[in-house]
Structure 1
Amino acid sequence: MADPGARPYRGVTAGVRHAERRRRFLAAGLDLLGAEPPVELTMRVICRQAGLSPRYFYENFTDKDEFVAAVFDDVVATLAATTQAAVAAAPPAEQNRAGIANIVHSIESDPRVGRLLFSARLSNAVLLRKRAEQGGLFAMLSSEHIQSALRVAATPRIAAIAHFVVGGVGETLSAWLAGAVGLSAEELVDQLTSTIDRLNEPRLFRA
């Protein structure tokens, strides 16, 4: 017997309805996790923000931890995709600026994204773990960019610089979001770009 839930409803297929419900939960998650001040994350709060019942929550996520991880991954995937596109579209000499500018302007235009990815006030254990994983991923991408720009093979020195860049940029963005760095978005882009550009010195990567 066919599943009634799989039938089209008002011309909308079950798959489309499912995707839309998931999108609403992810949007609600960004609203809640990126709120200022932070909001206590409960099932009731999540479902109320999404405008959906717990039944649909469990249709998409096994528990709150999986939900938080999915929200984080969705935000990171979007930011990574737009940043990589900005870098790819820029001339080699402007690629550092293009990447930094995209990140800074993205979190300026949507502070929820900045708080989710960089705020020191968030203490959710899943977010802290995902941030650590994100740092490793971005360090790998940074390392690959250095290798490509300087046409050198991977070395421990390149890995060290890549982690330094990712950690330094992340801490600076966190401080900027908290108001501890009194620069405009453009000034911050200039400062970070000029600092990172100075790390493209080949002597830094020689044994």
Structure 2
Amino acid sequence: MAALHDRAGTEPEDRAEAEPEDGVDGAGAGTGSRLWGGTTLAARRQARRAALLEAALDLIGEAGAAAVTMRAVCRRAGLTDRYFYESFTGRDDLLDTLYRQVAEEFLDPMTDFAAGEDPDRDRRVAAALVDKVLDDPRKSRLFLVEPYSSTGLGQTTIAVMPAFTRLLQDHLFGHIADPERRRLAAVTMAAGNAGMFSAWLNGSLKATRAQVIEHIVAVLAAYRAMYRA
């Protein structure tokens, strides 16, 4: 799903390749060299980038996307700001990259089931989505809760959501002949699911895993019945 990564940060040339990779504010000097000793510059860059993204996820899991700042991410990752800007142009670029990466992780297993012809397809798609939501609370919070707050993720969410709408439209609602009705059903269900999962994650909706799966399956069936003609 490379389309979800259109704005992934580019990596400038490292002018100080031979410099030691110190910890924040000089603490833990040399730890970078021990961790990445004997690896290529590209591999060290990739490892630093992954560490920054993981640090951002930890901060989101603890206090939401508002806690993600360049300094906080660098402190958590044990890297200096030079290495932050090696991979990202700023906070918004990091959040955009992370959000698209997480969205892809949600979309891939759903697509695998939705594109098939399994008679139990609806339940498999619903279970894959629910299990993904439960798998990593940090990622679920970023993907399903944080877009509702003022974190700068609004435009990224708008850019990513059509991929989920197309999955519903092309596979699960493919039987609806009228293209406008098919799109109406897909857009409405995608938005409704996002709101439902947000409420489920923040605790305002009390439901079990089985109940959420059954609800998704029932809603799919209801839309198909509504537009059967």
Do the aligned partners of 2:70 and 2:90 also contact (CA within 8 Å) in 1? no
Aligned residues, how many?
A: 199
Who is 2:169 aligned against? 143
Find the aligned partners of 1:56 and 1:166 in 2 and give their Cα distance: 37
Aligned-residue sequence identity (percent) comes to 26
- Residue 17 of structure 2 corresponds to residue 5 of structure 1: yes
Secondary structure of 1:198's counterpart equals helix
Residues 55 and 143 of structure 1: is their aligned pair in 2 closer, same or farther, counting only changes over 3 Å?
same
Contact 2:74 2:84 in 1 (8 A): yes
- Secondary structure of the equivalent of 1:34? helix
Paired with 2:124 and 2:57, the residues of 1 have a C-alpha distance of 25
Q: Which consecutive residues of structure 1, in runs of 5 or more, have no partner in the other structure? A: none
Equivalent residue letter for 2:138: R
- 2:124 alignment counterpart: 98
76 and 65 in structure 1: CA distance in 2 versus 1, 3 angstrom threshold: same
**2:138 paired with 1:115:** no
Shift of 1:121: 8.1
Using structure 2 for the length normalisation, give the TM-score: 0.76
Per-residue deviation at 1:91? 4.4
- Secondary structure of the 1:30 match is helix
Secondary structure of 2:223's aligned partner: coil
The 4+ residue runs of structure 1 with deviation greater than 6 A are: none
Show the counterpart of 1:158: 182
Seen in structure 2, the aligned counterparts of structure 1 residues 181 and 147 have a Cα distance that, compared at 3 Å, is: closer
Residue number in structure 2 paired with 1:21: 48
The alpha-carbon deviation at position 97 of structure 1 amounts to 1.7
Task: Kindly state the Cα deviation for residue 132 of structure 1 after the two structures are TM-superposed.
Answer: 2.4
Deviation track 1:8-54 (CA, whole Å, cap 9, x = no partner) reads: 96321111111111111111121222334665322210101122111
CA shift, 1:61, in A, is 0.6
Contact 1:147–1:154, Cα closer than 8 Å, also in 2: no
What is the 5 A alignment of 1:1-207? Answer: 5=17, 10-36=37-63, 39-88=66-115, 91-119=117-145, 123-146=149-172, 148=174, 150=175, 155-201=179-225, 204=227
Residues 157, 205 of structure 1: 8 Å contact kept: no
The alignment partner of 2:152 has SS state of: helix
